[in-house]
Homo-oligomer: A and B are copies of this chain.
Amino acid sequence: MVAAEDPESFFATAPPLRDADAVSARLRDFIARNSHPSAASGRRIVCVTSGGTTVPLEQRCVRYIDNFSSGHRGAASTEYFLKAGYAVIFVHRRGSCQPYCRFLPDDSFLKFFDVDAESKVQVAESHATMVKKAIGDYCKAMEGGSLLKLAFSTIFEYLQLLKMVATSISSVGPRGMFYLAAAVSDFYVPWDRMAKHKIQSAGGPLDMRLSQVPKMLSLLRNQWAPLAFCISFKLETDSGILVQKADMALNKYNMNIVVANLLATYKQEVVIVTEKERSTIRKINRDEDLEEQMVEILSQNHSKYICGITNGCNQSPD
C-alpha cells in the first residue's frame, strides 16, 4: 500500500501522457515568448488549474470517481489574470468551464441565435452585447499569445501535466505563480492494480480499496519550481474545520497562500489565509465576480514576494 502512495511509483506506473512531446514543445514556446526580456519585459506567468480530476476504476474506462468542480473559478480567474497582465497557462478538465464562455449555459447554445429573413444567423438581441464582448476578449487573448490551454481528464493526466508545467515555469523563478484551483482527487486506484475490463455487477455488493493520491505539493514546492509563488485551495463542506484545514495545508506544504472556501458559499465568499493573516473576501453585488477581487489581492501579494526574493525591488514586477 505504501508504494502506491509514493510519487515516484505513481509516475512510473501511470499511463504516459498522450502527445507529451507536443505539449512540452508548446509549453517551452509559450514560456520563452512570454518571458523574453525584450518583449513584455519578463511578464509574470501563472499556471491556473481548473475543474475536477477523474479516477478511473477500470483501465478501459467506463466507470470513474469524479470530484465536483464546474471549473467556473479557474475560468473566471484566468480572465482576470490576463487583464492584470499575466500570461496564463490554463490547465483545465476537458468539458469544464472555459474563459470568456462562462455565461453560456450547458444546453442553450441554440437559444442564443436566430436565423433572420435573409437566412443569416443572428445573435438574439438580448444576448448581443455579452456575446460580442466575449468574442472580442477571447480573440484578443488568443492573438496576443498570452493564453495557453492544456486539457486533462484523469488524475494521471493532471499530475503529469502539472509536473511538466512546473518544471518549465521554474525558469522564470519568482515571476511564476501556481493558482491550484482544480479539485484534485484524494483517492485513486493505482493503474497496475486496476480492473482491465468493465467490472461486472452480477456478484452482489462491490468492495473497493482506494489508495491515497500522493501529495505532490511538496514536490512542486521543493523540487519542480522552488521559487514560484504557490496558492492552493481548500474546499470543505463543514465550516467547523475549514480554516483549521487551510492553516494545516499552508504549513505542511509551505504554500504562500491558501484560499479556503465552503461548497455552499464558494461563489460568495472566500478566506485568504497567509502565514500572517486571514482576510475574508465577499461578493458585494450580484453581477460582480468574486475572482476580480481575489486576483487583485493575489497579484499584489505576488508583487511583494517578487520584491522580497529579488532583494528590494530592483526589478519591476510587470
Contacts and interface: CB of A to CB of B under 8 A. Distances in A.
Interface in A169-214: 183, 185-187, 197-199, 201, 204-212
A236 interface: yes
Nearest to A95: B106
B98 A121 contact: no
A136 B109 contact: no
Give the number of copies in the complex. 2
A205 B212 contact: yes
A122 B121 CA distance: 7
A95 B123 CA distance: 22
B65 A64 contact: yes
A201 B5 CA distance: 12
Counting contact residues on chain A (CB < 8 A from B), the size range is 35 or more
Contact of A60 (B1, B98, B106, B263): B263
A39 B120 CA distance: 33
A21 interface: no
B119 A121 contact: no
Interface in A103-117: 104, 106-107, 109-110, 113-115
A109 B115 contact: no
Looking at chain A's contact residues, is the secondary structure mostly helix, strand, loop, or mixed? mixed
A131 interface: yes
A235 interface: yes
A150 B297 CA distance: 42
A138 interface: yes
A219 interface: no
Interface string A229-240: 000000111100
Interface in A31-72: 54, 57-58, 60-68
